[in-house]
Chains A and B, each alone.
Chain A
Amino acid sequence: MSPALIALGIVALVVGGTIAFALAAVKRLSHDPHEYVVAGRSFGAFFLWLLLAGEIYTAFTFLGAAGWAYSFGAAAFYILAYGTVGFVIGYFLLPELSKVGHARGLLTSADYFRDRYGSRALGVAVGALQFVMLIPYVTLQLTGLQILLTIAGYDAYNATGGVAIAFLLMALFVFTAGMRGLAWASIVKDGLILIAVIFAGILIPIRFFGSVPAMFDHLIAKHPQMMTLPTTFTNHSVIWFVSTVLLTGIGFFTGPQSMNAIFSAKSGDALRRNTIWMPVYQLILLLVFFAGFAALLVVPGMKPGAADQSFVLVVQRFYPSWVMGFVAAAGVLGALVPAAALLLGGASTFAKNVLSDGLGIATADRQQTAAMRISVVALAIFALVLWLVYKQTLVDLLLFYYNGVTQFMPGLVCALVWKRVSATAIGAGIAGGLLTVLTIFLEHADPTPWGINIGLLALVVNVVIVALVSIIRPRTVAAPEV
C-alpha cells in the first residue's frame, strides 16, 4: 500500500469512527429546539469543558499557530495570551449570561439582544449579522482541512473533493445529532489533538535538536530578532500585540456559537470552574509553537501563508505514513468539529432569529427544529461554495471574524450593568463599529494603523456611540427581571 493510502485511510477511519461513536452516544433524535441547540441546558462541567475548549483546539491552532511561529516568531505568542484574557473576562461574564438564558428560555445570542433590549428588530439584525460573520470562520476551517488532506495524500491527489465530502458528512452529522452529538464528538477530537500536539511539540524538537532548550539555542543564534517583538509602530510589533490581545480577548466568547455553549450550562459554577482551569489546558499551544519553531529550523524558507503547512510537512517527510495519518486525522477532526459547532450556531441563529422572528416562518417548536436542521445543510453548502471561489491565509480571516464579533460585546455587557442603554444605542454602536472595520477593508487601508489593531479602534467607536446615545436618550421601558 502506498503511504498516501495508509495516511488517508487512517483519516477516513478516524472521522467515520468519531461520527459513529457520537451518533451511538446520542441515541434518539429530538424535535425540541431546546434539546437540539442547547442540549436541554443539561451540561455539567465536563461537557462544557469540551465545548468551550473547542475554540482552542481547532485546525487553526494546529496549523495557524505553528505557521505564525514559523513566519513571525514572537508575534505568534498572542494566540496564547488572548485566550487567557478571554477566560478571565469569561469567569465574570458567562455565569451572568447563562442565568439570563435559563430564566428567559433563550437559545441564541440574538435571542439575548431581542429579550434584553425589548426589540425584535435588534434581535433580527444581530442574528443576520452574526450569520454573515460566521461564514469566514467556517471557511477558515475548510482551508485547514485542505492543507491536511493534501499533505496526508502526499500531494498525489487534489484534496478539494475530500474537503467537500468530509465537510458535508459533518453537516449531515450536525443535522442529525445537534448539540449533544457535538459534545460527544469533541471527546475524540480533544483526545487525539492532545496526543498529536505532544508528539509534534516535544518529540520533533528532541529528534532534531536533542531537547527543547537546545532548539531555542539554535533559534536565538539564527533568528534572534524573532524571539522578541519589534518596538516600531508596525504590524506584529509590541503595540500590535497589546491591542490584538485586548481585542481578541474581549471577543473570545462573543461569537454566536459560544453563546450556544454558554446557554447549555447546567449552572453558573460549572462555567466558573471551566474558565478557572481552561488557561492551563491552553498551554498546549506552547507545544504548537515548539513544532512551528522546529519546522523553521528543519525546513526553512517557506512563505508566510505556506508556513501553515510547515510542521505537518516535517511529519510527512521524516516520519512513517501511519504517524502522518494520525496527525492528519487529529487535525481534520480539529477542523470538522469546530466547523460543526459554527454550523449549528449559524443555522440556529438564522432559523430562530431571521426566519422565525424576522419573517414569521416556522414559528412552532417542531417546525423551528426542522428549519434549523435544513439551515445547517444550507449554510454548509453556502460556505463551501464561497470557500471554493474566495480563499485567504488562515489568520487574516480569523482577525476579520474577531473584528466583527467583538462589536457585540457592549450589548452583552450593558444589559447586565447599565439600565439606561436602549436597543437604539446598541444598534447604533454595532453599526458604527462595523462601519469602521468595513471602511478599512474596502479602502484597502492599513488594517493596523500605527500598529494598532483596527478592531480595537472600532470597539472604541462602538462604546463611545453607545455611551452618548444612552446619555442623551435613555431607554424608557425596563427589561424583564431575571
Chain B
Amino acid sequence: MSRGARIARVLLACVAPVMLTVAIPFVNRIEPRIFGLPFLLAWIVLAVLMAPVTLGIIFRLEGRAKG
C-alpha cells in the first residue's frame, strides 16, 4: 500500500470513533431536530452509519493493495 493510501486508511478509520467521542461536547443539543430526532441522537445515528461507509472504502483500498 502506498504512503497516501496508508494515511487515508488511518484517517477514514478515525471518522466514526471521533464523531462518537471528542465531537460529542459540540453536538450536545436538541435543535435542529432531524427527522424528529433530537440533534444529539441524530448525530450518533449518523456516526454509526459512517462506520460501514469508511470501513467499506478501506476494504476496497486493501483489496486493491493485495492484488
Residues of chain A having any CB pair with chain B under 8 Å: 74, 77, 80-82, 84-85, 87-89, 91-92, 211-214, 216-217, 220, 224, 227-229, 231, 238, 241-242, 245-246, 249, 272-273, 275-277, 279-280, 282-283, 286, 289
Contacts and interface: CB of A to CB of B under 8 A. Distances in A.
Contacts of A231: 25, 28
Nearest to B13: A88
B52 interface: yes
Nearest to A217: B36
B61 interface: no
B20 A81 contact: yes
B58 A91 contact: yes
A246 to B, nearest CB: 6
A354 to B, nearest CB: 35
A84 B52 CA distance: 9
Contact of A213 (B36, B49, B54): B36
Nearest to B30: A227
B21 interface: yes
7 contacts: A74-B38, A74-B41, A81-B44, A84-B51, A213-B35, A216-B36, A217-B36
Nearest to A277: B52
Task: Tell me which of A74, A88, A272, A275 has the highest count of chain B C-beta atoms within 10 A of its own C-beta.
Answer: A88
A397 B8 CA distance: 39
A224 B38 CA distance: 10
A279 B52 contact: yes
Contacts of B24: 229, 238, 241-242
Contacts of B22: 242
A264 to B, nearest CB: 21
Contacts of A212: 36
B9 to A, nearest CB: 9
Interface in B28-46: 28-30, 33, 35-38, 40-41, 44-45
B30 A220 contact: yes
Contacts, number: 105
* Interface residues of chain B: helix, strand, loop or mixed (majority): helix
A344 B25 CA distance: 40
A228 B21 contact: no
Given A84-B48, A282-B48, 18 more contacts: A74-B40, A80-B45, A81-B20, A81-B48, A84-B16, A85-B16, A88-B13, A88-B16, A88-B54, A88-B55, A91-B13, A242-B25, A276-B52, A276-B55, A279-B48, A279-B49, A279-B51, A286-B45
Nearest to A87: B51
B48 A228 contact: no
Given A84-B20, A85-B16, A229-B28, A280 B52 contact: yes
Nearest to A242: B21
B33 A216 contact: yes
A283 B55 contact: no
Interface string B6-28: 00000001001100111011001
B47 A84 contact: yes
Nearest to B22: A242
A20 B48 CA distance: 36
Contacts of A91: 13, 55, 58
A238 B28 contact: yes
Contact of A245 (B20, B40, B49, B54): B20
B63 to A, nearest CB: 9
Nearest to A226: B38
Given A84-B47, A238-B24, A224 B55 contact: no
Contacts of B45: 80, 283, 286
B52 A77 contact: no
B51 to A, nearest CB: 4
A283 B50 CA distance: 12
Contacts of B16: 84-85, 88, 279
A289 B40 CA distance: 13
A92 B55 CA distance: 10
A315 B45 CA distance: 26
B21 to A, nearest CB: 5
Nearest to A77: B44
Contacts of B20: 81-82, 84-85, 245, 249
Nearest to A249: B17
A49 to B, nearest CB: 14
Given A245-B20, A276-B56, A216 B48 contact: no
